[in-house]
Homo-oligomer: A and B are copies of this chain.
Amino acid sequence: MAGCRAGENRLMTRQRGGPIVGAAGLGDDAMIRIGSLNAGGSVRRSLNIDFRLCAAEALIKIDASIETLAGLIRKAGAAGCDIAILPEDCLCTTGWTAASPSQAGEVLGPAVERLLAHLGETAAAHNMYVICCNDRMDDEGSIRNTAFFLGRDGRQIGHYDKVCFPVQEFLKVPGDSFPVFETPDLGTVGMLICYDMVFPETARCLALEGADIIFNPTVGGAAFGGAEISRAAFRTRAVENFTYIVVSWGGWGTDVGSVIISPKGEILAESLEPGGMAMVDIDPFGGRDNADWSNAQTDMRARLFRERRPETFAQLTQTTPKALEKLPEIQPFPPREIAAMVRRATTMGHVEYERAEQLLRDGETGQAVAAFEKLIEDYPSTWFDRTARKRLAELQDPEEDRR
């Protein structure tokens, strides 16, 4: 525990410059130091595996990635963290396996084995917990998106398979439950992966199972519409359940980051810097006192979970909600076809898009138009579709891109 660091009191700062950004509190035997790593932006680009590599080459690249990630974990260990967490798809394998689904097992099998072995050793060396997340191949040969929870001895305490997939992940196999894991010092631990957070049901299920902290490896946010509404949604997930939420971020952009949120929805620590870490000392068993005019509770869950009316919530578990009767079909195809199309977009789409842009830069307008039209046809409703339409509009009205 973080007790040996009594007297330290880092104030919360929100900055892009530093590697460690947090609000570590007064050292106290009940406090746990959490480090949530940011492996997005430039870090993620450095981990990327070119989809044209063969399996053996991909594994060499993955070995290097594991060393990079272990370095981040060591940094958290050196800072005295009791637990460190890495983001979703931490080995950045989704692009490669999208291009070579028939060889996914050849890479994912050894990749995840090596990841857990190496990070387990690092965890044990620092006597800390570690959470990491990546696609894995299960015993039936299906790909799952899984978060692993390693103990202070480096051994796996348990894992969580992502339950709520965005439509583009529908070729993977989802989990069917929200397990929680009891620990003596972190309290009851739950995990959610990325898109799970868009659905209030997921965090609620974990909270009702008793989760005190929810760890969230992710490459995305908690709501459609950008970083700002996403932060509002993360904070709401925390305060509606009175749980701590620890987000470790690993997306491609740079406008969002790793964040640690209190059971009152307060942002305790945040890191927007790739390679940085949000860090804070918390009491997983406390911080839940709250009140309204009429009443106060030491742990507000004692009220909220008794004020719920589960007997009136039948709609939540019905397979076909009534709303679907009036809603349009999913666009542009049935879900599994969208997933297959996006798998191609994730790999060849980038190459074809770059080629179209190069044609434009080279003044080969006719060929560029044809290339953009093909992107629209091949990757409907994706970013390529939208961007290609924009380019064609600009070509029709050259003033468009100056507006």
Taken together as a complex, chains A and B put the C-alpha atoms of A207 and B327 apart, in Å, by: 12
**Contact present for A328 and B299 (CB under 8 Å):** yes
**Which B residues lie within 8 Å of A165 (CB)?**
307
In the complex, A295 Cα to B232 Cα: how many Å?
Answer: 23
A308's partner among B201, B290, B311 (CB-CB below 8 A) is B201
Inter-subunit contact A317/B311 (CB<8 Å): yes
Contact of A328 among B223, B293, B298 (CB under 8 A): B298
Q: In the complex, which residues 270-323 of chain A have their Cβ closer than 8 Å to any Cβ of chain B?
A: 290-319, 321-323
Number of this chain's copies in the complex:
2
- A229-245 residues at the B interface, CB under 8 angstroms: 229, 231-233, 235-237, 239-240
Q: What residues of B have a CB within 8 angstroms of the CB of A290 in the complex?
A: 224-225
A342 on interface, CB distance cutoff 8 Å: yes
A372 to chain B, nearest CB (A): 17
In the assembled complex, A163 has its CB within 8 A of some CB on chain B = yes
B295 lies within 8 A of A208 (CB): no
Given A198-B240, A208-B323, A302-B330 contact (CB < 8 Å): yes
Q: Is the CB of B233 within 8 A of A168?
A: no
> B292–A220 contact, CB under 8 A?
yes
User: A386 within 8 Å of B by Cβ?
Assistant: yes
Are B295 and A381 in contact, with the CB atoms below 8 A? yes
A326 within 8 A of B: yes
CA–CA, A319 and B235, complex, Å: 26
Chain B residues with CB under 8 Å of A357's CB are none
A324 is an interface residue with CB less than 8 A from chain B: yes
Total interface residues on A, CB under 8 Å, equals 91
Set of chain B residues within 8 Å of A318, measured between Cβ atoms: 208, 310
Residues of B within 8 A of A208 (CB): 315-316, 318, 321-323
Given contacts A232-B232, A335-B306, contact A292 B224 (CB under 8 A): yes
User: Which chain B residues lie closer than 8 Å to A298 at the CB level?
Assistant: 328, 331
Knowing A298-B331, A321-B209, A331-B298, the reply to whether A176 touches B224 (Cβ < 8 A) is no
A187 CB to closest chain B CB, in angstroms? 9
Closest to A321 in B: B208
Q: Is A19 an interface residue (CB 8 A)?
A: no
A27 within 8 A of B: no
Docked CA distance A328–B168 (Å): 43
CB pair B327–A383 under 8 Å, yes or no, is: no
Q: Is the CB of A291 within 8 A of B324?
A: no
Write out the residue numbers on chain B whose beta carbons fall within 8 Å of the beta carbon of A210. 321-323, 325-326
**Contacting residues, chain B, for A176 (C-beta < 8 A):** 309, 311-312
Query: Contacts A224-B239, A233-B239 given; 18 further ones with Cβ under 8 A?
Result: A167-B294, A188-B326, A199-B308, A200-B201, A200-B204, A200-B240, A201-B313, A208-B315, A232-B235, A232-B236, A232-B265, A294-B342, A298-B328, A299-B327, A301-B327, A302-B327, A302-B328, A311-B317
| Listed A/B pairs (20) with beta-carbon separation below 8 Å | A167-B294, A177-B312, A195-B307, A198-B304, A200-B240, A205-B313, A210-B321, A210-B323, A210-B326, A224-B291, A224-B300, A229-B236, A229-B266, A231-B232, A232-B233, A233-B265, A297-B330, A303-B330, A306-B335, A314-B317
Chain A residues proximal to chain B, CB less than 8 Å? 163-168, 174-178, 188, 195, 198-201, 204-205, 207-211, 220, 223-225, 229, 231-233, 235-237, 239-240, 264-266, 290-319, 321-331, 335, 338, 342, 345-346, 381-383, 385-386
The 6 A-B pairs with the shortest beta carbon distances in the complex, nearest first, are: A200-B200, A208-B321, A236-B236, A232-B232, A168-B294, A210-B323
